[in-house]
Every structure is written in structure tokens, then in C-alpha cells.
């Protein structure tokens, strides 16, 4: 037999200094692989994270991907998972979850597709069926479907429209067909690039137009409702009936907050009280979420189990614990049906339902896997919810709480053994403080990203208000539900009002404290992604390598003072221009036009107080100089001409580095950069930054007009 030897002469020999480096790399890789293998029981918790990565990839694309892209990604990921083995299969599984998230977002976008109004319609008599009636602090607004709009073809008519009614108008009934003389316009776009996109939010709600009524509501005959339509009308009627019952006993903010807890409708809460609740850290009490769902389930479960335990033959022969769990599950489903399946409510019901099913199966109901299952369900069936603050803050708080209690539970159990009344009371206070501290810390990055502010005294406010909500307000609310069919709910509603009066007092008192609110500039989306991934890494893993997640959190903290602010902004209608001053402040072209955009710009810059307009002649330092034809703005060596009148266009086009003509067409202007009315109409609001080196960065809300279904 001929012996064959392999020659290694063709392989280049590495230098001697590289051997220790390669050895350390191999050793580090082996240690990481060993640590990952030891965390095997936590792998499944990354499923919703990978789904979220795929969903984020879909929504971050500048243009709509081809219809086949999601399916191709899925097939490719499945093939990779099938062919791979070992660690390769784990990586392929992560890619498969990402592809599944991407596809779910794409399918969701197709499934809700409906016409969106292209531009503002003059006042006309529109007809539609009332889907929802929302009472506001002043007046009400209705959501209409089955629309008929004069001058619009059926294929161009939006699927739904939200119309604000005139104050004092008679409210229509859900399911009723009405006609109202109103002005309609498309859902508003973001006030600046990177701002909150209500147009996208409305698209996924099926709302293609918003407007306001100029005339009174007129009832119109309509076709017979289907059984689903009748059920929806019944629920809306029940909500309105509950609001009427509450209004007979309570007034003002107390009635509005009570109605919000019983029906889920927050529109009637006065703005001052909403601000106080937000600035004190108590706004979560208004959103039907884990606290409320957990209280409903707990109260029903404990009450029914205690009652059944009083009957000794029943308690000894039957599984009363499981009976109580079934009753609690039915109660939370009924509560969700009545208040609506918003993201925090849906998440809480999913988690509570899985916990109660675990009780039925004699399993531990408190687990991070329950949160992962609920998150995966929401992401698969409502992937657009991931972009909103409700999803991010609710799941962030719950994940952080479970991770904290995984660490604290053994210690608290040891403290609770043999504890007397005083120690139990102290443990309860400690639990409330820990819950508020952990939840507040976990939701802080999302509050800073979406609202540019966070409550500094949330711990104090929650320590006062949460016990009142848990032990007084919600039990009275359950009694009110039970007594309303009998017409005996008055004393229970008034009891809720007493508790809510104390909560509102707490909110206003805490919000009035010095330094109650921390305000910062808007941070970029990459900073939010960094703190989210870092926080998840810290809370999901159990071994010391989890501490690497602190790097992502630190990166978010560093991004706050370094967040760039645009030097110049223009709203989409061209009616308002905002300029950055040398001291970092913001000056506006008008104190009357675009008040909503002005307030949003001020908030996103992390500035307090009302934004001001520059003087007609310009500023005293010469940064802004104006005459009757326009203004000149100087920043970092660049001259920007703001042209109000066509007579100044040609001269400014020759002299200025940038020309902005928000109300004119300037296609022939020879300036290096021009923004005119056509640009604003096509691409929406613009933001412009000028670096210290004179480099100009321009962004717009719609860099690729019409590239996504919602814009």
C-alpha cells in the first residue's frame, strides 16, 4: 500500500508573536461558548428580541421592500437552520426569528392597507357609520367607517375617518349612521425628521383622514348591522352608559379619571391633570395595564377562593383554587373587552392568562418565560405596536421587575419567615419602593426618547398613590361593575371618587415640587436601540457576563448631552421656521402660526417655557436680519436666505449659500441648496444642521415620497 502524506508547505507560517494572540482568542471563544451553553435555559427568552430586530429592520427601510422579500428571507433562514448543526443551528434559529419578525410586519402592513386622503378637502357633507365615540375635555370626537365623501371615488375614499364634533352637539350612538358637514385632511405627518409619526400610527388603525365638524350631526338611515357590528355597538353603548352613570355622581377630573379606569377612555381628562400625572410619574395609573389587570384577577381569585373555602365540604372535595383561577381569567377577559385591547392591556391579559393557566396546570406562574410568550404574541400579531411607547414602557417595566424579583425573592422570603405585623408592613413598603424604583428606572430611557422628560419624584408619588389604587380604588371599581345592572352603584362610584381625589392631589403636589421633571433633548434612535439591547442583555442572562449590558446603557447616557439639535426647521406647510441661536435657544418666524409644531420643537430640544418669535427687524446680534421681503440667517459661516416675497428671490439666489422659500416655487434658483414650497409639499417638514466646518446636513420627513404605504 502506498502511503500518502500531506504537505503543509503551502501554508504560510505565522510569526511567533501571533501565537499568544491566537491562543487567547481561542480561549476567550471557548469560554464564551461554555457560558452560552450554561445559559441554555434562557435561550428561549431571546425569541421576542429577535422578532423585534426583524420588525425594526422592516420599519427602518427607506422604501417598501418587494412583496416576496419576507417569504424569501423565511425560506432562506429555514434552509440554513436545517443544514446547520451545533452553534450554527443556534445562529440560524436567531436569523429565522428575525425573518419571522420582518415577515409579520410586512404582512401586517398589507392586511391594514386602505386609502389615505391625499390632501385637505373643503367642507362637505360626509356620511359614515359611528364606530367609536370618545368624550373629550371639551366636546367629543367620533370614529366613522363605511364613509361616503362627495367628490371622492370609492377606491380613493379612506376606510375610516376621525372627526371632532362641535361642542355641545348631541352625541350619536355607536352603530348609527350619521351625516355631518366637516373638513377632512390627511393624518398629520411628523413635525420634524425623527419625530412621532402619527400618520403611520393612523395607517395601522385604518384611519385615512381626520377633521372637524362645522355643522351638527344628522342621523341617517343605514343597513342592518352584522352580529359583530351589533356587538361592537353594544360595547360602545356600555362604555357611554358607564360614563353617564359616573357623571351623575362625580364631576370634573374625578369623573374623567373614574371613567378612564372603568372604560379605558382617557380623552375627557383635563390637560392640567394629565400633565400633573405625567410629571409626577403616575400616568401609568391611567393606562389599563399590569397593575389594573393584576388587581382585577387577584381580587376575583382571592375573593372567590375565600368564599368557597368557607364551605368545608366544597373546599375538601373540589379544586377551589382552580375554580377561582378560571373565574379570574374570565373576569380579566371581560375587563379587557370592555376597556379595549390596547397594547399594555393586551400584554397584561396575555401574561395574566398564562399565569392562571399555569395555576390550572400546577406550575409556577411567575416566570420570565411568561413575559417572553406575551411579547412574542403581540409582536407576531401586532408588530407595529413595537414602535410605540406603550409597548416599550410596559414590557420594559415588567422584564425589569421580574429580573429584580428573581434576584430579591430568596432574600425577601427569608425576611418574611416568622415576620410579625410590623415587619410585614415594612416589607410591603419595601416592595412598593422597589417596584417603583425598578419600573421607573427601566422606563426612563423610553420616556426620554419619546417625551424628552422623566419624573424625578416618581418613587414618592407611587408610594402614596399605588396603595390607594390597589386597596381602595380598584375594589370599589369592581363593586361598581357588579352593582350597575341593579342601579345600586352610586356609593361604589363615589368611593372611587374619594380615592381618585387623593391620587390627583398627590399628582399635583409632587409635580409642583422643585425639579420634579428632568428635561433633555431628543436622543437618536440608535441610542434607544443601544440601551434596549444592553438592558435586555443585563436582565435576561443570569451569569456574570450579563454585566456587559451596562455598556449599552452607558452609551445611551453619553448620547444625551451629545444629541444634535437642528439649526433650522421648517414645518410641512411652510408657515413656520425655527432658527437656532448662539445661546442654544430657539426663535420662530411667527408666534401665531404652527403653535403645535413650535411646542413640539421646543420639547424635542429639551427647552422649557414658551418659544418666542424673533423681532421683525431681526436680532440685535445680527444673527437674523430682516426686511419686508425676507430674512438672512448666519450660522457657522453660512448665509441662509429666508424669502417671503418673490421680488427678493433672484438677489438672494445669487448671494446666499442656502435659499429657503417656503411659500414660493424656486426651481430656477442657482443657489447651492434650495428648499421651496414644492419640496415641502413632497417631502414634508425639513431639518437642517450646519457643522462648525460649514458642512450642511439636510433631512426631511419623507426623503422618498410615497415609498412607504403610510406616507
**pLDDT of 1 above 50:** no
Cβ contact 444:456 at 8 Å = no
Instruction: Encode 209-248: b = buried (16+ Cβ within 10 Å), e = exposed.
Output: bbbbbeeebeeeeeeebeeebeebbebbeebbebbebbbe
CA angle 258-464-511, nearest 5°? 80
Mean pLDDT of 369-384: 88
617: DSSP letter:
T
pLDDT at 534 over 90: yes
Residue 658, SS3 per DSSP: strand
Work out the average pLDDT over 610-631: 89
User: What are the Cα distances from residue 62, in Å, to 465, 675, 700, 707?
Assistant: 44, 21, 12, 7
Distance CA 282, CA 463 (A): 10
| Cell output for 230 | 351589533
Q: Where are the beta strands (DSSP E) in 200-336?
A: 207-213, 218-220
Output the CA–CA distances (angstroms, integers) from residue 604 to 192, 558, 574, in the order listed: 10, 17, 19
Domain ranges of the chain: 29-111, 121-223, 244-519, 525-562, 568-700
The pLDDT, as a whole number, for residue 366 is 65
C-alpha cell of residue 549: 449590558
Average pLDDT, the chain: 86
Q: Any idea which of 52-56, 294-298, 379-383, 554-558 has the lowest mean pLDDT?
A: 294-298
Confidence of residue 88 (pLDDT cuts 50, 70, 90): confident
461-496 per-position pLDDT tens digit: 888 888 888 888 988 988 888 888 888 888 899 999
- Model confidence over 258-270: pLDDT tens digits? 988 888 888 788 8
Q: Label the pairing between strands 624-626 and 218-220.
A: unpaired
Dihedral, CA of residue 120, residue 125, residue 129 and residue 135, to nearest 10:
70
What average pLDDT does the segment 612-633 reach? Answer: 90
- pLDDT, residue 470, reads 83
Q: State the pLDDT at residue 242.
A: 85
CA-nearest of 540, 571, 568, 528 to 659 is 568
Contact 99, 79 (CB under 8 A): no
Is residue 86's pLDDT more than 60?
A: yes
* CB-count burial class (<10 Å; 0-12, 13-18, 19+) for 123: middle
pLDDT at 364: 63
- Strand blocks (E) in 175-243: 177-185, 207-213, 218-220
Q: DSSP for 111-178?
A: HT------SPEEEEEEEEEEEEEEE-SSSEEEEEEEEE-TT--GGGS-SEEEEEPPTTPPPPPTT-EE
pLDDT digits (tens, 9 = 90+) for 272-320: 999 899 889 888 888 766 667 777 888 888 888 888 888 888 878 888 8
Q: Distance from first CA to last CA of the chain, Å, rounded?
A: 75
Share of the chain above pLDDT 70, in %: 94
What is the predicted pLDDT for the residue at 15? 66
| Opening angle at CA 524, ends 518 and 528, nearest 5 | 75
pLDDT band at 353 (very low <50, low <70, confident <90, very high): confident
**How many angstroms separate the most distant Cα atoms in the chain?**
104
Contact between 250 and 476 under an 8 Å Cβ cutoff? The reply is no
For residue 370 the three cell numbers come to 411568561
Q: How many residues does the chain have?
A: 711
For the segment 515-533, the average pLDDT, to the nearest whole number, is 92
What is the number of alpha carbons within 13 Å of residue 587 lying toward its C-beta? Answer: 16
The cell numbers describing 32, all together, are 464564551
Q: What is the arithmetic mean of pLDDT over 44-69?
A: 94
Burial of 367 (0-12, 13-18, 19+ CB in 10 A): middle
Gyration radius (Cα) of the chain, Å: 29
CATH number of 121-223: 2.40.50
**Is 497 in contact with 468 (CB distance < 8 Å)?**
no
Residue 32 in this model has a pLDDT that exceeds 90: no
Neighbouring residues of 561: CB distance < 8 A, sequence distance ≥ 6:
none
Quick one: angle between helices 474-483 and 490-511, nearest 10? 150
**Per-residue CA distances from 52 to 175, 293, 533, 592 (Å):** 37, 25, 11, 41
More confident: 433 or 228: 433
- Per-residue pLDDT, averaged over 416-444, amounts to 78
Mean pLDDT, residues 506-526: 91
The residue among 16, 65, 29 whose CA lies nearest residue 707 is 65
3 state DSSP class of 24: helix
Average pLDDT over residues 53-69: 93
Please, which residues bridge with residue 144 across strands?
A: 130, 161
Q: Which of the four pLDDT bands, split at 50, 70 and 90, describes residue 47?
A: very high
**Cβ-contact 461, 281 below 8 angstroms:** yes
Task: Work out the number of other CB atoms within 10 angstroms of the CB of residue 263.
Answer: 22
With beta carbons less than 8 A apart as the criterion, state whether 212 and 163 touch. yes
Amino acid at each position: 500500500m502506498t502511503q500518502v502524506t500531506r504537505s503543509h508547505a503551502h501554508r504560510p507560517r505565522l510569526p511567533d508573536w501571533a501565537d499568544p494572540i491566537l491562543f487567547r482568542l481561542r480561549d476567550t471563544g471557548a469560554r464564551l461558548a461554555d457560558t452560552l451553553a450554561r445559559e441554555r435555559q434562557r435561550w428561549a427568552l431571546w425569541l421576542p428580541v429577535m422578532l423585534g430586530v426583524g420588525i425594526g429592520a422592516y420599519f427602518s427601510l427607506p422604501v417598501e421592500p418587494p412583496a416576496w422579500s419576507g417569504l424569501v428571507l423565511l425560506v432562506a433562514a429555514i434552509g440554513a437552520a436545517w443544514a446547520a448543526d451545533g452553534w450554527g443551528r443556534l445562529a440560524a434559529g436567531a436569523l429565522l426569528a428575525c425573518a419571522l419578525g420582518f415577515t409579520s410586519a410586512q404582512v401586517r402592513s398589507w392586511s391594514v392597507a386602505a386609502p389615505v386622503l391625499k390632501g385637505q378637502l373643503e367642507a362637505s357633507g360626509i356620511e359614515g357609520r359611528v364606530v367609536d365615540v370618545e368624550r373629550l375635555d371639551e366636546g367629543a370626537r367620533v370614529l366613522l367607517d363605511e364613509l361616503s365623501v362627495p367628490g371622492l371615488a370609492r377606491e380613493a375614499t379612506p376606510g375610516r375617518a376621525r372627526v371632532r364634533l362641535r361642542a355641545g352637539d348631541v352625541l350619536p350612538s355607536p352603530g348609527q349612521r350619521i351625516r355631518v358637514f366637516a373638513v377632512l385632511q390627511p393624518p398629520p405627518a411628523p413635525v420634524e425628521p425623527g419625530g412621532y409619526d402619527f400618520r403611520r400610527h393612523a395607517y395601522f388603525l385604518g384611519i385615512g383622514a381626520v377633521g372637524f365638524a362645522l355643522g351638527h350631526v344628522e342621523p341617517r338611515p343605514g343597513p342592518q348591522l352584522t352580529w359583530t357590528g351589533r356587538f361592537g355597538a353594544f360595547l360602545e353603548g356600555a362604555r357611554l352608559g358607564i360614563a353617564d352613570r359616573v357623571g351623575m355622581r362625580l364631576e370634573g377630573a374625578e369623573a374623567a379619571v373614574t371613567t378612564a379606569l372603568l372604560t379605558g377612555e382617557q380623552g375627557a381628562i383635563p390637560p392640567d391633570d394629565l400633565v400633573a400625572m405625567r410629571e409626577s410619574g403616575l400616568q401609568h395609573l391611567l393606562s389599563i395595564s399590569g397593575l389594573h389587570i393584576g388587581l382585577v384577577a387577584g381580587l376575583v381569585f382571592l375573593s372567590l377562593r375565600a368564599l368557597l373555602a368557607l364551605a368545608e365540604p366544597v373546599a375538601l372535595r373540589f379544586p377551589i383554587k382552580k375554580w377561582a383561577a378560571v373565574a379570574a381569567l374570565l373576569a380579566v377577559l371581560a375587563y379587557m373587552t370592555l376597556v379595549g385591547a390596547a397594547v399594555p392591556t393586551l400584554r397584561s391579559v396575555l401574561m395574566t392568562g398564562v399565569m392562571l393557566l399555569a395555576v390550572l396546570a400546577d406550575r409556577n406562574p411567575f416566570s420570565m418565560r411568561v413575559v417572553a410568550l406575551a411579547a412574542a404574541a403581540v409582536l407576531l400579531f401586532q408588530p407595529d405596536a413595537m414602535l410605540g411607547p406603550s409597548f416599550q414602557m410596559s414590557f420594559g417595566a415588567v422584564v425589569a421587575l421580574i429580573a429584580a424579583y428573581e434576584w430579591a425573592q430568596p432574600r425577601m422570603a427569608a425576611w418574611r419567615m416568622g415576620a410579625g405585623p410590623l415587619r410585614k408592613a415594612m416589607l410591603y413598603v419595601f416592595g412598593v419602593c422597589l417596584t417603583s424604583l425598578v419600573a421607573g428606572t427601566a422606563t426612563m430611557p423610553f420616556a426620554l426618547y419619546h417625551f424628552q422628560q422623566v419624573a424625578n419624584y416618581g418613587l414618592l408619588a407611587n408610594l402614596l398613590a399605588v396603595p390607594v389604587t390597589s386597596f381602595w380604588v380598584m375594589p370599589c371599581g369592581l363593586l361598581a361593575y357588579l352593582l350597575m345592572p341593579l342601579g345600586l352603584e352610586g356609593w361604589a362610584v363615589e368611593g372611587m371618587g374619594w380615592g381618585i381625589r387623593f391620587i390627583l392631589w398627590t399628582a399635583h403636589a409632587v409635580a409642583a415640587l422643585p425639579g420634579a421633571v428632568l428635561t433633555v433633548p431628543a436622543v437618536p434612535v440608535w441610542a434607544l436601540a443601544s440601551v434596549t439591547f444592553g438592558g435586555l442583555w443585563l436582565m435576561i442572562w443570569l451569569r456574570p457576563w450579563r454585566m456587559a449590558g451596562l455598556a449599552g446603557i452607558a452609551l445611551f447616557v453619553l448620547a444625551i448631552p451629545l444629541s444634535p439639535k437642528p439649526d433650522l426647521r421648517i414645518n410641512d406647510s411652510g408657515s413656520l421656521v425655527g432658527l437656532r441661536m448662539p445661546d442654544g435657544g430657539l426663535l420662530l418666524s411667527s408666534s401665531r402660526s404652527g403653535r403645535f409644531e413650535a411646542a413640539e420643537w421646543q420639547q424635542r430640544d429639551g427647552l422649557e417655557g414658551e418659544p418666542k418669535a424673533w423681532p421683525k427687524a431681526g436680532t440685535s446680534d445680527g444673527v437674523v436680519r430682516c426686511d419686508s421681503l425676507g430674512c438672512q440667517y448666519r450660522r457657522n459661516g453660512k448665509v441662509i436666505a429666508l424669502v417671503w416675497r418673490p421680488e427678493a428671490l433672484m438677489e438672494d439666489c445669487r448671494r446666499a449659500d442656502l435659499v429657503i422659500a417656503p411659500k414660493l416655487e424656486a426651481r430656477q434658483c442657482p443657489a447651492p441648496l434650495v428648499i421651496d414650497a414644492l419640496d415641502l409639499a413632497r417631502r414634508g417638514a425639513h431639518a437642517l444642521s450646519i457643522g462648525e466646518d460649514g458642512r450642511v446636513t439636510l433631512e426631511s420627513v419623507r426623503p422618498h415620497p410615497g415609498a412607504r404605504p403610510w406616507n
